[in-house]
């Protein structure tokens, strides 16, 4: 039996209705809300063969457990997009493009990282199983549906997974404020895995030592570093930029 999860807010529910409507078991909407956005969601649900049950705010608050729900909550089966990084890369039609998050435990940061990863075309996001937040309702809401489209793989041994990526010809690049090279000094268009640690602690020692290269994100102001979700976006879109430039030059 598939594990269940709660989807909260328009983005998360609408995305699931698009990609996997069969996984939605129950859909609840605010009884008193009938604006254009709500009517569009109800219509989307009906088109997907799902009915929306109108309930009061008290019921929605209970289902959402205090989180901002916008008048929309769904109960659904959890989706498993992929179980193995090799499977993901074998199915990929573009050079490897992976994001590795070492120690990110804030669901808002993870949700933002997944949303940007989806936009950048990242094939998978990898995190250690024992030092990472899982895909919960907050992640689903912040990710705006990307948690259902980008495989989020948790592994028992991150360093071993990085070494396995390297054996497949993937260049493992970590970010470090003290690194001599910047993200603009390397060939980020090659098969790549960007590795970022959590704010404050950064990457763990073994993770850092396993990277092929360490680079910094140039900072011109007084702030020393960026939030991990912003830093990951900068790195991922450097790959997007370089790959686009390489294609244009051919």
Structure tokens at 216: 């910094």
**CA–CA separation, 98 and 192 (whole Å):** 6
Contact 197, 207 (CB under 8 A): yes
Is residue 128 helix, strand or coil?
strand
Phi/psi of residue 224, nearest 5 degrees:
-80, -30
Structure tokens at 58: 């008290």
Q: What Rg value do the Cα atoms of the chain yield, rounded?
A: 20
* CA 205/CA 190 separation, integer angstroms: 25
- Which residue numbers belong to the known binding site for S-adenosyl-L-methionine? 197, 217, 226
**Annotated binding residues, as ranges?**
197, 217, 226
Give the span between the Cα atoms of 231 and 61, in whole angstroms.
Answer: 34
- In this structure, the number of other CB atoms found within 10 A of the CB of residue 166 comes to 15
Q: Which two tokens stand for residue 134?
A: 């899982």
Picking from 145, 149, 147, the residue whose alpha carbon sits closest to that of residue 133 is 147
Angle at which helix 36-47 crosses helix 10-19, to 10 degrees, equals: 20
The count of C-alpha atoms lying within 13 angstroms of the C-alpha of 210, restricted to the half-sphere facing its C-beta, is 23
DSSP secondary structure code for residue 105 in this structure: -
Give the CA angle between residues 104, 199, 8 to the nearest 5°.
45
């Amino acid at each position: 039996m598939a594990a269940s999860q709660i989807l909260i807010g328009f983005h998360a529910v609408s995305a699931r209705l698009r990609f996997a409507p069969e996984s939605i078991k129950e859909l609840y909407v605010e009884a008193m809300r009938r604006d254009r956005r709500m009517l569009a969601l109800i219509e989307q649900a009906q088109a997907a063969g799902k009915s929306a049950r109108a309930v009061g705010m008290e019921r929605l608050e209970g289902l959402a457990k205090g989180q901002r729900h916008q008048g929309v909550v769904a109960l659904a089966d959890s989706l498993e997009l992929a179980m193995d990084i090799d499977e993901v890369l074998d199915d990929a039609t573009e050079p490897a493009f992976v994001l590795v998050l070492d120690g990110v435990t804030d669901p808002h940061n993870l949700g933002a990282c997944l949303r940007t990863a989806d936009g950048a075309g990242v094939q998978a996001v990898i995190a250690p199983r024992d030092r990472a937040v899982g895909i919960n309702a907050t992640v689903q809401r912040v990710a705006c549906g990307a948690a259902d489209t980008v495989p989020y793989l948790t592994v028992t041994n991150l360093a071993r997974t990085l070494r396995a990526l390297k054996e497949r010809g993937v260049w493992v690049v970590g970010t470090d404020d003290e690194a001599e090279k910047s993200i603009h000094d390397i060939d980020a268009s090659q098969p790549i895995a960007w590795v970022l640690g959590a704010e404050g602690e950064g990457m763990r020692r073994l993770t850092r030592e396993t990277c092929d290269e360490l680079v910094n994100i140039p900072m011109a102001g007084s702030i020393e570093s960026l939030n991990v979700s912003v830093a990951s976006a900068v790195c991922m879109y450097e790959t997007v930029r370089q790959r686009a430039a390489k294609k244009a030059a051919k």
